[in-house]
Amino acid sequence: MSELIKIRNYVNGKLVDPVMGKYLENINPASGEVYALIPDSDGKDVDAAVKYAKEAFHSWSKTSIEYRHDILSKISDLIRDNLKLLAKAESKDNGKPLWLAKEVDIPRAAANFKFFANAITLFASQAHETDQTAINYTIRRPLGVVSCISPWNLPLYLFTWKIAPALAAGNTVVAKPSELTPMTAFLLSTICMEAGLPAGVLNIVHGYGHSAGQAMVSHDDVKAVSFTGGTETGQKIATLAAPKFKKLSLELGGKNPNIIFADCDYDDMLATTIQSSFSNQGQICLCGSRIFVERPIYEKFKKDFVEAVRKLKVGHPDQPDTRIGALVSASHLDKVKSYLELAKEEGGKILFGGKEVIVEGFENGYYLEPAIIEGLAFDCRTNQEEIFGPVVSIMPFDTEKEVLEYANSVRYGLSCSIWTQNLKRATRISSEIEAGIVWVNTWMLRDLRTPFGGMKDSGIGREGGLDALNFFTEAKNVCIKY
């Protein structure tokens, strides 16, 4: 076996070993092989990182906007310059197709830094005149040390989505990527060093959520936590943070509806629905896992969808024609498979897929055929709980009222797609649907200025654009009487 890559923490501008010298194994999901070691950091590593971040805050928070713009922009450029290296690392760590990492994940990470480097130059505070007797002006200041904790599904994409606005607004950061996909965050450390980011401004501590992550959330000197991950983890974080009155942004799970009316642009809908169902092996919080199809086109959709999904190649992430790569871990594969069993127990029929796939030369990888289920009630567990894998359930409906009831029946409220040419219907459903993000005749078309986040158990707060900069700053109003 070739020598294992050793990932290190990034603290006070340097790459360092974890204080206790302990490491976790990092597995390549496409082959099932251990290929790297990850610091198994704990409270001691977090304490050190927070201490340096606190020291760095004094000068970083007072730097000019132009200075921060230039450094963040440089980081963005370096991410672009290292596109191939980062995409390869992301694909190997996560199991996603290499072309996807190249086309989406890494360009988006660069775009996050560029966007917030620019956004901060336009971030202005407000003034309000009160009845011609006084003027109010609002000062917005960074919070101090903040923590950014991200999941494994879009590793560098979501990590930078939090770090970039936090740094742009003048905070210093102690961040943790998922212990399942730490590699691109590690590579980001070296990019930040090359870009000249001052020591201590960004600190990246690797390790488990229950140790390193929890230590960040509980630390008295961490003023805010921006978290993306599962709803249950979000609950734990909220419980720890609430007594200390920390600011919280929580982007959590989803069980998103994809509502298809008979009058839709059928070909566009079908092509997009394949993506919204199975992109990134269905491991995107925005994937539409509950597909409601108006009855007049249900049978046609079912036939065409199954036929198209059958053609999606499950294979090694490096192969350019792979459409479905490996799932992120053995335990996640087991979880997804257990939901397929549950679906059968609940009366569902698997129309296609759901079997493990053996990829030649990579027999220990975590590969699964994309699965389409029908015949399930809208309120059964398979249709209510987040599976977060390549599994969708298709259901016919007859009326708008009925489909809204089905769509809104879950605890989640992250996103929704609506397919119709009828503008009145699209606006009616957009207004009634319980989701933070609604797409009409599209899916995952992102504009970084828009508020991003979920309702109900999908989270608290919004990221993106001014919402992110508002989150990472605290407002102080000054009222002066004329």
Q: Contact residues for ligand NAD (CB under 6 A)?
A: 149-153, 158, 176, 178-179, 208-210, 213-214, 217, 228-230, 233, 236-237, 251-254, 285, 386, 388, 414, 454, 458-459
Radius of gyration of the chain (CA): 23
In the bound state with ligand NAD, the residue whose beta carbon lies nearer, of 264 and 414, is 414
**In the complex, minimum distance from the CB of residue 14 to ligand NAD, in angstroms, rounded to a whole number:** 22
In the bound state with ligand NAD, the residue whose beta carbon lies nearer, of 207 and 354, is 207
- Choosing from 179, 251, 369, 374, which is the catalytic residue? 251
**In the complex, minimum distance from the CB of residue 303 to ligand NAD, in angstroms, rounded to a whole number:** 30
- Count of Cβ atoms closer than 10 Å to residue 151 Cβ: 24
In the bound state with ligand NAD, the residue whose beta carbon lies nearer, of 374 and 457, is 457
**In the complex, minimum distance from the CB of residue 335 to ligand NAD, in angstroms, rounded to a whole number:** 10
Active-site residue flag, 285: yes
**In the complex, minimum distance from the CB of residue 77 to ligand NAD, in angstroms, rounded to a whole number:** 26
Active-site residue flag, 363: no
In the bound state with ligand NAD, the residue whose beta carbon lies nearer, of 158 and 314, is 158
In the bound state with ligand NAD, the residue whose beta carbon lies nearer, of 94 and 473, is 94
**In the complex, minimum distance from the CB of residue 380 to ligand NAD, in angstroms, rounded to a whole number:** 19
**In the complex, minimum distance from the CB of residue 372 to ligand NAD, in angstroms, rounded to a whole number:** 20
Which residues make beta-bridge pairs with 256? Answer: 288
In the bound state with ligand NAD, the residue whose beta carbon lies nearer, of 365 and 454, is 454
Amino acid at 461: G
Distance spanning both ends of the chain, measured CA to CA: 76
**In the complex, minimum distance from the CB of residue 233 to ligand NAD, in angstroms, rounded to a whole number:** 3
**In the complex, minimum distance from the CB of residue 248 to ligand NAD, in angstroms, rounded to a whole number:** 12
In the bound state with ligand NAD, the residue whose beta carbon lies nearer, of 236 and 355, is 236
In the bound state with ligand NAD, the residue whose beta carbon lies nearer, of 97 and 254, is 254
- Choosing from 148, 192, 264, 285, which is the catalytic residue? 285
Q: What is the 3-state secondary structure (H, E, C) of the chain?
A: CCCCEECCEEECCEEECCCCCCEEEEEECCCCEEEEEEECCCHHHHHHHHHHHHHHHHHHCCCCHHHHHHHHHHHHHHHHHCHHHHHHHHHHHHCCCHHHHHHHHHHHHHHHHHHHHHHHHHCCCCEEEECCCEEEEEEEEECCEEEEECCCCCHHHHHHHHHHHHHHCCCEEEEECCCCCCHHHHHHHHHHHHHCCCCCCEEECCCCHHHHHHHHHHCCCEEEEEEECCHHHHHHHHHHHHHHCCEEEEECCCCEEEEECCCCCHHHHHHHHHHHHHHHHHCCCCCEEEEEEEHHHHHHHHHHHHHHHHCCCECCCCCCCCCECCCCCHHHHHHHHHHHHHHHHCCCEEEECCCECCECCECCCCCECCEEEECCCCCCHHHHCCCCCCEEEEEEECCHHHHHHHHCCCCEECEEEEECCCHHHHHHHHHHCCCCEEEECCCCCCCCCCCECCEECCEECCECHHHHHHHCEEEEEEEEEC
Q: Active-site positions?
A: 251, 285
